[in-house]
Amino acid sequence: MIPIITAFEQSPDRGQGLARDMPVRWALEEVGQPYEVRLVSFSAMKEAAHRALHPFGQIPTYEAGDLALFESGAIVFHIAECHVGLLPQDTNARSRAIMWMFAALSTVEPPIVQLEIATYLERDQTWYEQRLPMVEDSIRSRLAELSDRLGGTDWLDDVFSAGDLLMVQVLRRLSGSSLIKEYPNLCAYVARGEARPAFKRAFEAQLAVFTGKSPD
Ligand code: GTB
């Protein structure tokens, strides 16, 4: 059965692979599961047909047989559970990989999202100049802690897992900021993730939506 995911018809990131269909595509590519993509416009996302799949009127969604899911983290987890390659077999190692999935989305990502909100939506506010350094410092703290834990290792816990996939994708959201450059091991970690053939296939596929050219 070929799963169907949804993605932006016109992604605001202009093909940078920062929207949340990207980790789902990447996970599917890592496990070698072919998939189809249904592109949705901003208005279609808010219509009843899409809201039946996604109560918050967003992308991505995932449909396979009688299963419909939303939330990119839950979708990646489902893919990892159903296939070999993204979660270790050993119970403790598997739990640690899941722990890193949660850490990426609920501990590292929130201050990064706050920076995006500040940059794109709050720039004209009188308090913007005061708020920005506080948001940046909260990201710096998380990056410093993550950098310390990663140290000189390739991945967060021995072998690449869904935890690394989500963490790399979260850190990629800082690609337009100089903050991550303060942590060379995190830059190398992101580069290692981006160098994976599965990442490249996923990236090219979402870029092709933006350029209108099919990936080679
Ligand atoms: N927690 C949910 C998940 O992980 O699936 C969040 C889903 C979500 O935020 N979806 C966004 C969406 O559908 C797209 S990815 N937004 C439309 C809406 O809410 O009306 C978020 C996103 C958008 C754009 C960029 N960008 O341009 O860089 C990056 C990330």
Q: How far is the CA of 203 from the centre of ligand 1 (A)?
A: 16
Atom of ligand 1 nearest to the CA of 14: 27
Quote the DSSP letter at residue 181.
G
Distance of CA 5 to the CA centre of its chain: 14
Give the Cα separation of 124 and 110 in Å (integer). Answer: 22
Contact assessment for residue 21 and residue 7, using Cβ atoms and an 8 Å cutoff: yes
CATH 3.40.30.10 domain residues, the chain: 4-85+198-211
CATH value of 4-85+198-211 in 3.40.50.300, 3.40.30.10, 3.40.50.720, 3.80.30.20: 3.40.30.10
For residue range 93-139, list pLDDT tens digits in order.
999 999 999 999 999 999 999 999 998 898 888 898 999 999 999 99
Question: Of 20, 10, 71, 17, whose CA–CA distance to 41 is shortest?
Answer: 10
State in words which class domain 91-196 has. Answer: mainly alpha
Q: Where in the chain is the domain with CATH 1.20.1050.10?
A: 91-196
Q: Which residue of 9, 11, 20, 165 sits with most ligand 1 atoms within 8 Å of its CB, as the best mutation to test the pocket? A: 20
Cα 8 to ligand 1 centroid, rounded to whole Å:
9
**What span, in angstroms and rounded, lies between the C-alpha atoms of 81 and 88?**
10
Question: Residue 8 contacts by C-beta under 8 Å, 6 or more apart in sequence?
Answer: 19, 21, 39, 40, 42, 59, 209
- Among the atoms of ligand 1, which is closest to the Cα of residue 42? 20
- 211 touches 149 (CB < 8 A): no
Instruction: Please report the pLDDT score of residue 80 as a whole number.
Output: 98
- State the Cα–Cα distance between residues 18 and 21, nearest whole angstrom: 8
Of the segments 119-123, 176-180, 187-191, which one has the largest average pLDDT value?
A: 187-191
Beta carbons of 29 and 37 less than 8 angstroms apart: no
- With a cut of 90, say whether residue 197 has pLDDT above it: yes
Q: What is the pTM of this model?
A: 0.96
The H or E element spanning position 5 is strand 4-8
